[in-house]
Amino acid sequence: MTTLTPTPGGTVVRPADPPFAARHQSPRQGGTILAVPALLWYLVFMVGPLVAIFVIAALHWPGMLQPVSFAGLGNVRTVLDDPVFWDAVRNTAIQLAVTLPVMIVCAYMLGYYVAQRPPGHRVIRYLLFIPGLVSTPAKAMVFYAALSPDGLLNGALKGVGLGSLTDAWLASPTTSLACLIALDVWSGVGFTAVLFAARLAAVPGELGEAAHLDGAGHWRTMWRIHFPVIRDYVGVVTMLQFLWTLFDSAQRVLLLTQGGPGTSSTTLSFLVYQKAFIAADLGYSQTVGVILFLVGLAGLLAIRRLFRQTY
Partner 1 sequence: MKLGKRWLPAHVLVWTYAALLLVPLYYLLASAFKSNDRIFAHPFALPSSLGLGNFRTAFTSADLGLAVVNSSLVTVFSLALTLLLALPAAFALARSAGRAAVVIERVFSLGFLIPTFAALFPTFLLAAATGLFHTRTFMVLFLPATALPLSIVILVQFMRTVPGEMEEAARLDGASTFGVLRHVYTPMCLPGIATVLLLNFLTFWNEYLYSLVIIGPDPAQRTVQVALPTLKAITGTDYGVLTAGTVLTLLPVWVVYTVLQKRMQQSLVSGAVTM
- With the CA atoms of 41, 46, 50 and 55 taken in that order, what torsion angle do they form, in degrees rounded to the nearest 10? 40
Does residue number 215 form part of the binding site for partner 1 (CB under 8 A)? no
| Closer residue to partner 1, CB minimum distance, 25 or 164 | 25
- The candidate with the shortest Cα–Cα distance to 176, out of 91, 299, 77, 71, is 91
Does residue number 229 form part of the binding site for partner 1 (CB under 8 A)? no
- The candidate with the shortest Cα–Cα distance to 196, out of 172, 226, 152, is 226
Does residue number 278 form part of the binding site for partner 1 (CB under 8 A)? no
* Cα–Cα distances in angstroms (integers) from residue 201 to residues 35, 115, 164, 205, in the given order: 35, 6, 46, 8
Q: Phi, psi at residue 59, to the nearest 5°? A: -110, 150
Say if CB 295 and CB 87 are below 8 A apart: no
Give, as ranges, the residues between 119 and 178 that touch partner 1 (CB under 8 A).
120, 123-138, 140-146, 148, 150-152, 155-156
Does residue number 93 form part of the binding site for partner 1 (CB under 8 A)? no
In whole angstroms, how close is the CB of 86 to partner 1 at the nearest point? 19
Does residue number 26 form part of the binding site for partner 1 (CB under 8 A)? no
* Cα–Cα distances in angstroms (integers) from residue 153 to residues 169, 179, 279, in the given order: 9, 12, 34
In whole angstroms, how close is the CB of 179 to partner 1 at the nearest point? 13
Does residue number 90 form part of the binding site for partner 1 (CB under 8 A)? no
Does residue number 79 form part of the binding site for partner 1 (CB under 8 A)? no
Which stretches of the chain are assigned E, i.e. beta strand? 59-60, 69-70
Does residue number 84 form part of the binding site for partner 1 (CB under 8 A)? no
Options 73, 165, 198, 207; binder of partner 1; rule CB under 8 A: 198
Options 71, 194, 200, 234; binder of partner 1; rule CB under 8 A: 194
Does residue number 260 form part of the binding site for partner 1 (CB under 8 A)? no
In whole angstroms, how close is the CB of 35 to partner 1 at the nearest point? 4
Options 22, 50, 105, 301; binder of partner 1; rule CB under 8 A: 50
Options 15, 33, 70, 206; binder of partner 1; rule CB under 8 A: 33
Does residue number 103 form part of the binding site for partner 1 (CB under 8 A)? no
Q: How far apart are the C-alpha atoms of 228 and 231, rounded to whole Å? A: 5
Q: Is the peptide bond before 261 cis (omega within 30 degrees of 0)?
A: yes
Say if CB 260 and CB 176 are below 8 A apart: yes
In whole angstroms, how close is the CB of 192 to partner 1 at the nearest point? 9
In whole angstroms, how close is the CB of 4 to partner 1 at the nearest point? 6
Q: How far apart are the C-alpha atoms of 232 and 236, rounded to whole Å? A: 7
Options 99, 265, 269, 274; binder of partner 1; rule CB under 8 A: 269
